[in-house]
Amino acid sequence: MGLNHCEGQPYAAGSLRRALERGRMAQAYLFAGPEGCGKRLVARELAKAVLCEAPVSGDACGTCRSCRLVESGSHPDVEFFRPEGGKASYPVRQLREEIRRRAYLKPALGPRRFIVIERAEALVRSSGARNEGADTLLKLLEEPAPQTCLVLLTSRPEVLPETVRSRCQLVRFRPPPVGALVSDLVREYGLEEAEARFAAYVSGGDPESAAGLVARRKERKFLLSLRDRLLSAARLLGTMSYPELFEAAAAVESHARDWGLLSGALGVLSLIYRDGALRGLGAGERVLAFPAGAEAEAAGELAGRHAPEVLVAAARRVLKAQGDARRYPARLLLLEVLFIDLKCILRAPADRREGGEVSCS
């Protein structure tokens, strides 16, 4: 990796690298872009490039002690913060005892410290008689520790007060094209393209979690069994008996261990139904999410068996479950109800009336 190789975000990473090459580094950055577009990864690469013991044209060497420490997440001068316990806002204790205190520490190893605040919008939202989050942020920006670089990551820059935004150098991030992430995974980890595509979609397009998933051998095996179970459910749900259906839901649930993975898996499932519908309509490969691989086989099989309207209805139902997954902690129940509905949708004869909806009452 390195700023030169953040292919999902060539513009953001490239502009940072050029600034470093000219010796121009800001005291505070605001990385703004959609959730999961790689802001965290670029923040880490920025810290790596600045702290590198032998940088090359403004970028990290990737092999020195400092680079290795940043990469493994154990560099004492690079700290990432996010709201404790997955809360919606930063608790006051975390603001006072961690962020505020640690931002004023002297660097332990290198020339600088990096304080990366993820979901910066959650910092401003933290409530109380006074808005302690916003106060903390302003203090860090108005009276910065000379050797500390503050990096704020947010998907909602508009929520931050103008006083905060105007004191940071804005770096805009675009949603990365899946293609770039897929080629990164193929190049870095030697995955088959179809496998890399599954990992990219199931990680919601987030380069860091995709890399994390495929880098760990055990996780990778886990990911592939999730893929098998998901594809078998996609193909067979319409003809499964109820006991088989409950078993399939339990198998997917046990492999989609957290909300992010479940949401990613549901995203893949909806794309398979979508691809099936597009194939049924005679669309070209260019518009398919999965032009090849086991997902493409499943989509082709579905296209041969169901009318496009039925597959669109199935995709829509899966997307609804993906939205619900954020709110309901009962993942197994969510999958069971989804699979029952899908069985019903995929069993229903296509309603071919103009603009007709497939109903399952």
Q: Which residues contact 2 (CB under 8 A, 6 or more apart)?
A: 45, 48, 49, 59, 60, 62
Q: Which of 12, 20, 42, 52 binds Zn ion (CB under 5 A)?
A: 52
Measure Cα distances from 356 to 280, 287, 308, 309, 350 in Å.
17, 24, 12, 8, 9
CB under 5 A: which stretch of 53-61, 184-192, 217-225, 250-258 binds Zn ion? 53-61
DSSP per-residue letters across 333-360: HHHHHHHHHHHHHHHSPP--STTPPP--
Q: Is 47 in the site for Zn ion (CB under 5 A)?
A: no
Beta carbon of residue 145, minimum distance to Zn ion (angstroms, whole number): 24
Q: Is 181 in the site for Zn ion (CB under 5 A)?
A: no
CB count in 10 Å sphere of residue 266? 25
Beta carbon of residue 73, minimum distance to Zn ion (angstroms, whole number): 16
How far is 295 from 270, CA to CA, in rounded Å?
11
How far is 264 from 101, CA to CA, in rounded Å?
36
Interface positions, 262-291, toward Zn ion (CB under 5 A): none
Beta carbon of residue 49, minimum distance to Zn ion (angstroms, whole number): 8
Nearest to 302 by CA among 332, 264, 273, 268: 273
Q: Is 298 in the site for Zn ion (CB under 5 A)?
A: no
Beta carbon of residue 48, minimum distance to Zn ion (angstroms, whole number): 7
Q: Binders of Zn ion: how many residues, by CB under 5 A? A: 5
Per-residue mark of binding to Zn ion, 57-76 (x: CB under 5 A): ---xx--x--x---------
Q: Is 3 in the site for Zn ion (CB under 5 A)?
A: no
- The amino acid at residue 8 is G
Beta carbon of residue 188, minimum distance to Zn ion (angstroms, whole number): 18
Q: Which is nearer to Zn ion, 61 or 360 (CB)?
A: 61
Contact residues for Zn ion, defined by CB under 5 A:
52, 60-61, 64, 67
